[in-house]
Amino acid sequence: MSLRQTLSEFYPPKPTFTEKDLDDLAGKVYLITGGTSGIGFILAKTLYSKNAKVYITSRSAASGEKAISEIKESVQSSHGELRYLVMDLGDLQTVVPAVKSFLAQETLLHSVWFNAGVMKVPNGSITKQGYELQWGTNVVGHFVMQKLLMPILLITAQVAPKGSVRVVWVSSDGHSLLSPKGDGIDWEDITTRKSDGWQGEKGSMTYYGQSKAGNVLLAMELAKRYGNQDIVGVSLNPGHLKTNLQRHSNSALAKRFEGLVLHDPSFGALTELYAGFSDAIGTDNNGVYIIPWGRVGKIRQDIEAGFHNRGTGKKLWDILEKETEEYVLTV
């Protein structure tokens, strides 16, 4: 990953793929985590405007209903459907029943965007199951979803156009700029459950970067494991955006910096749209990393070397399978 790419991710060229490039999506089913605000909300609105059936996840029924009402109010000509699933990715006990509910309603799933995430949380924040909050939310919760959804994705891939069924992991350039050197992951840290009073010694932003490196590795490993069955794994940096992800930022300096480099979230939705639909992505470049506002980019060199030479994608996948087995086996 070059300095030139890093700078271009802060100030990208004009997008080349927009909602105007989408075909009619009637009969297609999509799932977006964190679709009640920010780029997930905009993506859901875009897909709904093209007549798709769109599921969004929400931490409460009230926020799910509010988001759906707002989308329907702004897109009144759609023949699509909108539904919500209540879950908290920081509590795996809520993830499983939400996915069960989805599977009870649908027989196909054409693509899923693991879009939800947290960032800059207070040091020492943990999930219900004792993971550092950013790791547990951004990685573990979504991994459980992916495992539970894989059967329906494989079924869909048998009847959908080749390379069109995709699992999109929303990472960021934090995987490169903030994660531990070497593999992008401190292996001992991610397998150590935390408890109340844990101090978060590495600092919140390092843990965030580690979670984003995890997203990249899981997309690449998914491509390796399921590419021969026409499932495409993609990771991406949506861009530097003005969203709720910065809600934990409270310093004046941080807010001034964000005001200089952050873009409207609608641009980030275009990055996600590109990852989900562009013909430039398929089984021939499976596991690709996308940068704003829809371009193929490169991940950090040591992380890529770890994947290809040290099997870090498999290592992470195997760790997560073991850690979440009790939840995955319930479906």
CA distance 42 to 36: 9
Q: Which residues are catalytic?
A: 171, 208, 212
CA distance 94 to 172: 26
Ramachandran area for residue 174 (φ above 0: left; ψ -120 to 50: alpha; else beta)? alpha
Number of C-beta neighbours around residue 295 at 10 A: 21
Query: Residue 182 has what DSSP assignment?
Result: T
Nearest residue to 313 (alpha-carbon basis) of 238, 233, 205: 233
For residue 86 the two structure tokens come to 């209540």
Nearest residue to 142 (alpha-carbon basis) of 172, 178, 118: 118
**Could you tell me if 114 and 43 are in contact, meaning their C-beta atoms sit under 8 angstroms apart?**
no
Dihedral Cα 150, 127, 185, 327, nearest 10 deg: -30
Number of C-beta neighbours around residue 296 at 10 A: 13
**Could you tell me if 113 and 168 are in contact, meaning their C-beta atoms sit under 8 angstroms apart?**
yes
**Could you tell me if 306 and 312 are in contact, meaning their C-beta atoms sit under 8 angstroms apart?**
yes
For residue 227 the two structure tokens come to 């590419």
